């Protein structure tokens, strides 16, 4: 009768203390295309495999990396429609913060609010957890560039470098070997692309991946243009 | 005891990270009659098999393609009654946008709102996902003609050409072979009809298919008259 | 433990993309007494088998055909009490329309609203679909006489002629053979009675069937009196 | 584990299109003591077996026939407590009607409202159908005396004569043989008592049955006194 | 897995038309200590076995008979906590009636309201029936002393004499033999005590039973003191 | 699959008329540490085993006996967190009473309100019964010292002496033998300690038990200090 | 079909009086990394293993110990996202208290409110218990430093020393042997680190553990800096 049989709507504890709906949601994340990020001294890079299922898809319009504010951005692995709910909420929060305090919301706060929303969906009646993990790039109170990962459970950590989605285990051990604490953004971008290329099916290029960078110097987050991505890839060869 | 036994009302994750109700809803889409669309340089064409189960049905009154605003239109495969809920909501949103901003709602926004509504029905208590996929034709902020596909999960993409419903796999590979990036609307209409004819049971004609076109020149969306469709079909022969 | 065991209250998708509660509701329709209708050039006829389970029932008071407005009428097959909910709602809508716009509500709108109500009951928590299909006769915006059929799913079509309830398959193929596009109301009434007689158990007469006609000339809908029905039946012999 | 196992709270469709909770509710009706009624030319009689389970019950206080207005009355078979909910609602409606329109509510309207309430309980979340059928006696718009039967499904019919509860099948065929269209009230009362006596366990008398009559002449409904019932019974011998 | 397995929260119909939760609630009543009552010409007596499970219980504080108004009282068998909900509601209703109309609420009305509350709990979502039956003593509109029994289903009857709880079948047949229609209160009290003694485990006395009397002469309801009960018992020997 | 399998959230009747969730809640009580109390002529003593699972627990801060008002106190066996909900509610009620009426709330009223809250949780949707029994000491309207026990069902009794929690059966028969109706508080305290010592694992002392006394003379309730308890224990040796 | 099968959303009693969801939540706690604390004469120390799953995690940003007010702090074992809900609530309560009363909230009150929130989630419909235990350090009314542990059931105790999470049994027996009632903070910190080191996988250092101290002298709570922790560890060697 299939594997969803008897799985009830609510996230309840199993005998071993596991919240199964959350574990299953993590599987939805691992089934998704790889995303990854590196926090450098002078900025953050986040990148994602945006390869699509058909050559007919208007790749230019596929935008998995989303600006949350002029100085922060999100990317995800897992269910895109769930991710949209999170970015919508994060943008609203970030801009409310700015209106109220006259300054940019520290990324750790943006992340905390997103994580709280995700936690709520693991404890409230009649709903399911979110089916995606999120990487967030932004500046903290001390204006240092930071990278966070938020999971369906609502757990989040700051990372020097991390990867989610398909092949995330290999990607992370790859990153562990190459990312040093004092890595600079330019180097980080190259490492990011290199890591993404590792597990990539087919040729990587500016059309099938997406790269967002947060620069400490300019204080702003932007998504690289196709040509810029290709330039980085060519430099690497 | 049947196959719905134990399938609970809520869309919860299966062990493998799948949302089964969404997968089943996609089956409802694939059981529906074929719809397809092509985004050309100078416009968009969407078309659908509107063959009916009986010769007694008043075919002239069957209208699967719906205008959402004077410059955008939807078509679907799957459950018609669910589709009506979506068009009603989209029209309301589009006209509210126009009242507020004094200009047409970009199609990507119309699509996003429709997709958000569909996502909601995959995460809220006591409801089921929508049982249809939607193709949307309209202009974007830059007034370029665009084609989108929205699925029961709330996922959506821009497409140069796509097909949904019965035989959508064949239709898409057919389109992949014939649709070039710089295709023009007239050519796109012919390709569309050709593709539709491929998987069609029986003779295709202006009575059993429906074609909607969005013209960049006029900036408007309209459904072709039976004679116009027949003219296109005759030209093709 | 019976066949309702495990059938949950909500209309959810089966593995094959079916909404089983809707399919079962359609079985409730097919178990009901036959109703049918024909849209002629100059009017619409709808008719129904109103044979009752006992000679003690006050047949004169049994009225399955209901006026919705002075120029439109409904008939049904399936569960009578569910049908009453629909006629009540349709009448309220039709009269609200007339109060607001100063003119009769086009039948396609009446039908759409009825269909939307039926769709709602297939997607909302804790309710079941309606257990009846409805035939609707009325005038459209262009004042042409129209016949619609609405099903428990909320699907509806315009029909030149159609039949629902017990024996609807035979009735429809019977109608297909006899109903021409330019049929006139008088002829349509005869065809309707003939079709109804086909599957009828026992002798058909003005007491055990009910006939409603919409005349283009008078612009009004009315239910034929027993004598009128008998006259038509006698003419036929 | 018993026969209620897995019977869910909501009235949903079985595979064959049946609403099982309604069928089961009808069984509750058939388990109840017999009630019956006859609509005569000049009035209506309704009667019921009010035999009680113990000689200690204060039979005089047992009143199964209830006035709804001075000119209408109800009787039932099945669950008494459910019946009380219906009479309370019917009385409120009838008296609201009279306050608003300055005249008695036609019995068909009283019945329709009762039936609508019963239908609601077959389609709303978390409730069960009413466990009783109701016979209603009253005058219609044309001031003709009428008899109606309303069932747990919310279905209702006008009847010349009918019976519900234990042995209703026999009672109805008994009535079919004896009730003529132009029967007069006096005769109807006798026929009613005769029918009731048929299936009766033990001796029938003014204490263990209850009889209500609606007289066209006086325009009012009243419950016969024990002596009156006994007089009728004696006349019959 | 136990006998409550699969018993759902709602009172739904079984295949045979039974409301099982109500039947089970009646079992809760039959498991309770015996209560009984007799309606005499000049008053009503209600009495109950208030034997407690331990000699340490402060028997004087155990009061199963409750005054509802100065001229009416309730006693019960079954679940005491559920009974308290009913007496609280009945008292509130009775005193609201007196405030509004300036006179005592007839006992039949008090009973009807109690019964309606009990019926509600058999038809509403998410609740269970009350687990007790109630005997009510009071005066009716005509100021005659009356005795009523209300059951978990919401059914109620007037009784000349009745018994509920453990051994109620024997007690009732005992009462049937001894209670005559024109019994007087003094005699009724003796009969009541005699009946209670029949099924009693151990010696009956003013400590382990409770007796309430309604006197037509004084128009008031009161609970007998321990000595009074003992006096009656002594007289009987 | 465990023993909670199929146990539904609501307290419904089993076939034998039992409310299983309440029976199970009583098991939670019996699993808890013993509490007991004795109502003397001139006061009430309540005491409890407050032995803790570790020597590291700050025993001084463990306070199972709670003042509800200056002249009343509660103790419990079972789930401590549930107990806190009850004391919070009781305190609020007691102080509201005092504010309104200018005098102390009689303990029987405090108990009745607590019991009503507990009953509610056995009949409302979606909640479970409280997992504790409560002993309450206080003065009644006549300023006599009283002891009450309230159970998860909402049932309550006045007791001369009682015990709940682990070994309550033995403790009660021990009490039955030693508690006389005219026992005085000093004697009662000794009896209480003696009884508690009976079933105690290990040495009883002022650290691992808690004793509260209500003195008629002072009209107040207080918890004995460790030294006082030890003094009583020493006296007993 | 997995071990969550049939585990219903609500925390209901098992046959043996256990609330299984709470027991399972405790397993979630025991699966979490170890936390522990010691209440000394002149302060409280709480510490936790904050070893992370990857060297890429920004350990400096991992902060499991949270200030609730300037003079109190929490740490946890179990599910981090659930813990955040508790700290958010505790902070709000503590600061509301300070605003209202102009002084710091006693830690026992902070703890009680946290515990009440946790209890609520064991008795309300549609939610699950919190999946974490909390250690709380703060000052009580008498300004003495106190340590509390709150569990998913809502149970809480004051502790001289305690441990939760992985290996808590060993840690507690370790603490039992070394913690004396008159231990001083400096000594307590060393004991704490020693205990933590016992069950630690790998080398303990200022990066992979977190230590918070409450000083009676300063009246404030603070988290030790990495260097401070390392200093303590070096002293110990």
Q: What gap in Å lies between CA C199 and CA A58, rounded to an integer?
A: 56
| Residues comprising chain E, all counted | 237
Give CA torsion, residues B94, B99, B103, B106, to 10 deg: -20
Query: What does chain F look like in DSSP terms, one character per residue?
Result: --TTTT--SS--B-TTS-BHHHHHHHHHHHHSPPEEEEEETTEEEEEEE---S-TTB-GGG----EEEETTEEEEEEE-HHHHHHHHHHHHHHHHHHHHHHSSPPPHHHHHHHHHHHHHHHHHSTT----SEEEEEEEE-TT--EEEEEE-TTS-EEEBSEEEESTTHHHHHHHHHHH--TT--HHHHHHHHHHHHHHT-SS---TTTEEEEEEETTTTEEEEPPHHHHHHHHHHH-
- The Cα of F220 is separated from the nearest Cα of chain G by a number of Å equal to 24
Using the predicted structure, report yes or no on whether residue F10 has a pLDDT greater than 60. no
Residue C145 pairs in a beta bridge with C139
Q: Nearest Cα to A77, choosing from A34, A21, A44?
A: A34
What pLDDT score does F159 carry? Answer: 96
**What is the ipTM, given to two decimal places?**
0.88
Using the predicted structure, report yes or no on whether residue G47 has a pLDDT greater than 80. yes
Q: Nearest Cα to F33, choosing from F126, F161, F164?
A: F164
H helix or E strand, kind and range, residue E193: helix E185-198
For D130, phi and psi rounded to 5 degrees?
-70, 140
Which pair of tokens denotes residue C201?
A: 């158990």
Q: Check contact B-C (3+ Cβ pairs < 8 Å).
A: yes
The residue in chain F having the minimum alpha-carbon distance to the alpha carbon of residue G169 is: F54
Contact (Cβ atoms closer than 8 angstroms) between residue D45 and residue D185:
yes
Residue B117 pairs in a beta bridge with none
Q: Nearest Cα to B69, choosing from B129, B37, B113, B132?
A: B113
Q: What's chain E's average pLDDT?
A: 92
Q: How many CB atoms lie within 10 A of CB A215?
A: 17
What pLDDT score does B9 carry? Answer: 39
Q: Nearest Cα to F82, choosing from E196, C76, G13?
A: G13
- The Cα of B160 is separated from the nearest Cα of chain A by a number of Å equal to 5
Residues of G in contact with A125 (CB under 8 A): 9, 125-127
Contact (Cβ atoms closer than 8 angstroms) between residue F168 and residue F34:
yes
Q: How far apart are the first and last CA of chain B?
A: 52
The residue in chain A having the minimum alpha-carbon distance to the alpha carbon of residue G6 is: A6
Contact (Cβ atoms closer than 8 angstroms) between residue D37 and residue D48:
no
Question: Which strand ranges, in their side-by-side order, compose the sheet holding G66-69?
Answer: G66-69, G72-78, G132-139, G145-150, G156-158
Chain D interface residues (partner C, CB cutoff 8 A): 5-20, 39, 108, 112, 115-116, 118-119, 122-126, 146-147, 153-155, 157-162, 172, 175-176, 179
Using the predicted structure, report yes or no on whether residue G75 has a pLDDT greater than 50. yes
What are the C-alpha distances in Å from G83 to residues A110, G79, G88, G150?
Answer: 18, 6, 9, 11
What pLDDT score does C124 carry? Answer: 79
Using the predicted structure, report yes or no on whether residue E222 has a pLDDT greater than 90. yes
Q: What gap in Å lies between CA F16 and CA E27, rounded to an integer?
A: 6
What pLDDT score does D74 carry? Answer: 98
Chains within contact range of chain C (3+ C-beta pairs < 8 Å)? B, D
Give C127's pLDDT tier (boundaries 50, 70, 90): confident
Query: Which of B7, B10, B12, B120 to mutate against chain A (most A CBs within 10 Å)?
Result: B12
Average pLDDT of the segment spanning C35-63: 93
- What's A147-171 look like in SS3? EEEECCCCCEEEECEEEECCCHHHH
What pLDDT score does D127 carry? Answer: 81
- The Cα of F176 is separated from the nearest Cα of chain E by a number of Å equal to 6
What pLDDT score does E10 carry? Answer: 55
Q: Check contact G-C (3+ Cβ pairs < 8 Å).
A: no
- The Cα of E55 is separated from the nearest Cα of chain D by a number of Å equal to 36
Using the predicted structure, report yes or no on whether residue F1 has a pLDDT greater than 50. no
Query: What does A162-219 look like in DSSP terms, one character per residue?
Result: EEESTTHHHHHHHHHHH--TT--HHHHHHHHHHHHHHT-SS---TTTEEEEEEETTTT
Using the predicted structure, report yes or no on whether residue B108 has a pLDDT greater than 50. yes
Q: Check contact G-F (3+ Cβ pairs < 8 Å).
A: yes
What are the C-alpha distances in Å from D108 to residues C61, D136, D158?
Answer: 10, 9, 9
Percent of chain C with pLDDT over 90: 81
Angle at F45 between CA F43 and CA F51, to 5 degrees: 165
Give C10's pLDDT tier (boundaries 50, 70, 90): low
Which pair of tokens denotes residue A175?
A: 């990153």
- The Cα of C114 is separated from the nearest Cα of chain D by a number of Å equal to 17
Residues of C in contact with B2 (CB under 8 A): 7, 14, 20
What pLDDT score does A199 carry? Answer: 83
Contact (Cβ atoms closer than 8 angstroms) between residue G118 and residue G150:
yes
Using the predicted structure, report yes or no on whether residue E4 has a pLDDT greater than 60. no
Average pLDDT of the segment spanning G179-201: 94
Average pLDDT of the segment spanning C124-137: 90
More confident residue, E14 or G192: G192
What parts of chain A have a pLDDT lower than 70?
Answer: 1-11
For B31, phi and psi rounded to 5 degrees?
-75, -15
- At G31-41, the pLDDT tens digits run 999 999 999 99
The residue in chain E having the minimum alpha-carbon distance to the alpha carbon of residue D27 is: E17
- At D50-79, the pLDDT tens digits run 998 888 998 888 899 999 999 999 999 999
Query: Which of A20, A33, A81 to mutate against chain B (most B CBs within 10 Å)?
Result: A81
Query: Which of A56, A62, A133 to mutate against chain B (most B CBs within 10 Å)?
Result: A56
Contact (Cβ atoms closer than 8 angstroms) between residue E48 and residue E77:
yes
Are E123 and D4 inside 8 Å of each other by CB?
Answer: no
Chain E interface residues (partner F, CB cutoff 8 A): 1-9, 21, 24-31, 52, 54-58, 60-62, 79-82, 84-85, 88, 121, 125-129, 131
Q: What gap in Å lies between CA G159 and CA G44, rounded to an integer?
A: 11
Question: DSSP letter at A58?
Answer: -
What pLDDT score does B184 carry? Answer: 97
What are the C-alpha distances in Å from D208 to residues A192, D204, D227, E157, E180?
Answer: 92, 6, 12, 14, 19
Task: Could you list the beta-strand ranges (E) of B41-176.
Answer: 43-49, 66-69, 72-78, 132-139, 145-150, 156-158, 161-164
Q: Nearest Cα to F32, choosing from F78, F80, F64?
A: F78
Question: Which strand ranges, in their side-by-side order, compose the sheet holding F220-223?
Answer: F161-164, F35-40, F43-49, F209-215, F220-223
What pLDDT score does D167 carry? Answer: 96
Are C81 and D125 inside 8 Å of each other by CB?
Answer: no
- The Cα of C74 is separated from the nearest Cα of chain D by a number of Å equal to 17
Range name among B118-122, C124-128, E110-114, G150-154 with the lowest pLDDT average: C124-128
Using the predicted structure, report yes or no on whether residue G66 has a pLDDT greater than 90. yes
- At D107-131, the pLDDT tens digits run 999 999 999 999 999 987 778 999 9
- At G86-117, the pLDDT tens digits run 999 999 999 999 999 999 999 999 999 999 99
Q: What gap in Å lies between CA C77 and CA C29, rounded to an integer?
A: 5
**Residue C68 exposed, middle or buried by CB count within 10 Å (0-12, 13-18, 19+):** buried
Percent of chain E with pLDDT over 90: 81
Contact (Cβ atoms closer than 8 angstroms) between residue G163 and residue G29:
no
What pLDDT score does A6 carry? Answer: 31
Angle at E211 between CA E205 and CA E217, to 5 degrees: 135
The sign of the torsion formed by the CA atoms of B66, B72, B75, B80 equals negative
Q: What gap in Å lies between CA B110 and CA B136, rounded to an integer?
A: 9
- At A214-225, the pLDDT tens digits run 999 999 999 999
Are C3 and D12 inside 8 Å of each other by CB?
Answer: no
Residues of C in contact with B126 (CB under 8 A): 10, 124-126
What are the C-alpha distances in Å from F81 to residues E219, F76, G137, G155?
Answer: 49, 11, 20, 5
Q: Tell me how far apart the 2 most distant CA atoms of chain G are, in Å.
A: 57
Chains within contact range of chain E (3+ C-beta pairs < 8 Å)? D, F
Instruction: Determine the angle formed by the axes of helices G80-101 and G107-123, rounding to 10 degrees.
Output: 130
Angle at E24 between CA E22 and CA E27, to 5 degrees: 115
- The Cα of F182 is separated from the nearest Cα of chain G by a number of Å equal to 37
More confident residue, D21 or E221: E221
- What's G190-209 look like in SS3? HHHHHHHHHCCCCCCCCCCE
- At F134-184, the pLDDT tens digits run 999 999 999 999 999 999 999 999 999 999 999 999 999 999 999 998 999
Q: What's chain C's average pLDDT?
A: 92
- The Cα of E148 is separated from the nearest Cα of chain D by a number of Å equal to 9
Using the predicted structure, report yes or no on whether residue C88 has a pLDDT greater than 60. yes
- At B58-86, the pLDDT tens digits run 888 889 999 999 999 999 999 999 999 99
The residue in chain C having the minimum alpha-carbon distance to the alpha carbon of residue B84 is: C116
* 3-state SS, residue D34: coil
Cβ contacts of A182 within 8 Å, gap of 6 or more:
A41
Q: Nearest Cα to A9, choosing from D13, G117, C5, B21?
A: B21
- At E142-178, the pLDDT tens digits run 999 999 999 999 999 999 999 999 999 999 999 999 9
- The Cα of C208 is separated from the nearest Cα of chain D by a number of Å equal to 14
- At F24-83, the pLDDT tens digits run 999 999 999 999 999 999 999 999 999 988 889 988 888 999 999 999 999 999 999 999
The pTM (predicted TM-score) of the whole model is 0.90
Q: What gap in Å lies between CA G67 and CA G51, rounded to an integer?
A: 20
Name the class of domain E34-236: alpha beta
What pLDDT score does C29 carry? Answer: 96
- At E56-87, the pLDDT tens digits run 998 888 899 999 999 999 999 999 999 999 99
Q: Check contact E-A (3+ Cβ pairs < 8 Å).
A: no
What pLDDT score does D199 carry? Answer: 83
Are D4 and E9 inside 8 Å of each other by CB?
Answer: no
Q: What gap in Å lies between CA E54 and CA F172, rounded to an integer?
A: 9
Instruction: Give the number of beta-carbon pairs within 8 Å between A and B.
Output: 129
More confident residue, C5 or G15: G15
What pLDDT score does G9 carry? Answer: 38
Q: Nearest Cα to G166, choosing from G194, G200, G190?
A: G200
Are A119 and G84 inside 8 Å of each other by CB?
Answer: yes
Question: Which strand ranges, in their side-by-side order, compose the sheet holding C132-139?
Answer: C66-69, C72-78, C132-139, C145-150, C156-158
Q: What gap in Å lies between CA B66 and CA G178, rounded to an integer?
A: 78
Chain G interface residues (partner F, CB cutoff 8 A): 5-20, 39, 108, 112, 115-116, 118-119, 122-126, 146-147, 153-155, 157-162, 172, 175-176, 179
* 3-state SS, residue G154: coil
What pLDDT score does F135 carry? Answer: 98
Q: What gap in Å lies between CA F137 and CA F42, rounded to an integer?
A: 12
Chains within contact range of chain F (3+ C-beta pairs < 8 Å)? E, G
- At D174-217, the pLDDT tens digits run 999 999 989 999 999 999 999 999 989 889 999 999 999 999 99
Cβ contacts of E218 within 8 Å, gap of 6 or more:
none
Are A24 and B5 inside 8 Å of each other by CB?
Answer: no
Residues of D in contact with C30 (CB under 8 A): 17
Q: How many CB atoms lie within 10 A of CB E224?
A: 20
């Amino acid at each position: 009768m299939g594997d969803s049989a008897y799985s009830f709507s609510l996230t309840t504890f199993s005998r071993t203390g596991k919240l199964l709906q959350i574990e299953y949601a993590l599987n939805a994340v691992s089934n998704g295309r790889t995303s990854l990020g590196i926090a450098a001294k002078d900025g953050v890079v986040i990148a994602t495999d945006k390869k699509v299922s058909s050559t007919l898809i208007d790749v230019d319009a596929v935008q998995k990396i989303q600006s949350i504010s002029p100085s922060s951005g999100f990317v995800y692995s897992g269910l895109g429609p769930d991710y949209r709910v999170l970015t919508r909420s994060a943008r609203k929060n970030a801009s409310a913060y700015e209106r109220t305090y006259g300054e940019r919301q520290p990324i750790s706060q943006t992340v905390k609010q997103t994580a709280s929303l995700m936690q709520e969906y693991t404890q409230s009646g009649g709903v399911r957890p979110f089916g995606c993990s999120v990487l967030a790039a932004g500046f903290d109170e001390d204006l240092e560039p930071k990278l966070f990962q938020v999971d369906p459970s609502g757990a989040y950590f700051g990372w020097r470098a991390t990867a989610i989605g398909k092949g995330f285990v290999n990607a992370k051990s790859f990153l562990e070997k190459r990312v040093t604490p004092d890595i600079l953004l330019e180097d980080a971008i190259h490492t990011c692309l290199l890591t993404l290329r590792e597990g990539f099916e087919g040729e990587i290029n500016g059309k099938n991946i997406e790269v967002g960078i947060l620069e400490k110097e300019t204080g702003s987050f932007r998504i690289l243009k196709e040509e810029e991505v290709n330039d980085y890839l060519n430099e690497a060869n």
